[in-house]
Amino acid sequence: MITAQDVQKLRQLTGAGMMDAKKALTEASGDLEKATDILRKKGGKIAMSRGARATGQGLVESYIHAGGQVGSMVEVLCETDFVARTDQFKELVHDLAMQVTASSPLFLSTEDVPAEVVEREKRVYQEQLATEGKTGDMLVKIIEGKIQKYYQEICLLEQPFFKDDKLKVKDVVTEAIARTGENIKIKRFCRFELAGPGVTCTVKE
């Protein structure tokens, strides 16, 4: 039996509407984890269908960490000023600014990583693994796994979300798209660190 408490808990976890949460719980036979996965898959389909819609509104947000030694700015776009002014959207943009400050991404997505950077990493891994006697299909699989882990370190959308490391940043954006009904995109970010590596910026046209 699906209780009102179950529905409320799922809504708090995912931001889904009441009917969507109830349907997902029913489909999952009351299993909260399975219901969450169902809603995330639904959010992914919604995101894909809205991916080409124009984003002419949004917010620029900054976050400076305590002590003033490191901080960031992000620009996140949506479709309407109405959504841009909602607390949910403001929280998303603020969280993304905190993510950039904390996790130091170099690129927005895997597609933005230059091919020569990926090839250089592969060569390094190949040399390391060769000394361990790894060859053939095993070598290829291990290198691919290391590249995926590398993407999670340097690409903002692939990074584990600092509030919930079971989610990637791209999952959080997808869920926001499902909640708001609008296309949402991270356009660019900059990270500043005093006496550190300097300024890291990326732009997604």
Going residue by residue through the chain, which has 205 residues, state the pLDDT in tens, using 9 for 90 and above. Answer: 778 777 777 666 555 566 777 787 788 888 877 877 776 666 655 555 555 566 789 999 999 998 899 999 999 999 899 999 999 999 999 999 999 999 999 999 999 999 999 999 999 988 887 777 777 778 888 889 999 999 999 999 999 999 999 999 999 998 888 888 788 999 999 999 987 777 777 766 5
pLDDT at site 23: 80
pLDDT at site 33: 78
pLDDT at site 8: 76
- Mode of pairing for the β-strands spanning 198-203 and 160-161: unpaired
Single-letter amino acid code for the residue at 190: C
pLDDT at site 73: 96
pLDDT at site 48: 53
pTM: 0.72
Is CATH 3.40.50.1820 correct for 57-105+164-203?
Answer: no
Copy the structure tokens of residue 122: 């592969």
- Reported residue count of the chain is 205
| 3-class secondary structure, 173 | helix
Nearest-angstrom CA–CA distance, 110 and 114: 9
pLDDT at site 42: 67
**CA torsion angle 163 187 159 120 (round to 10):** -160
What is the CATH code for 4-50?
A: 1.10.8.10
Nearest-angstrom CA–CA distance, 159 and 86: 25
Query: Smallest Cα–Cα separation from 187: which of 120, 117, 112?
Result: 112
Nearest-angstrom CA–CA distance, 131 and 125: 10
Q: What is the residue extent of each domain of the chain?
A: 4-50, 57-105+164-203, 114-152
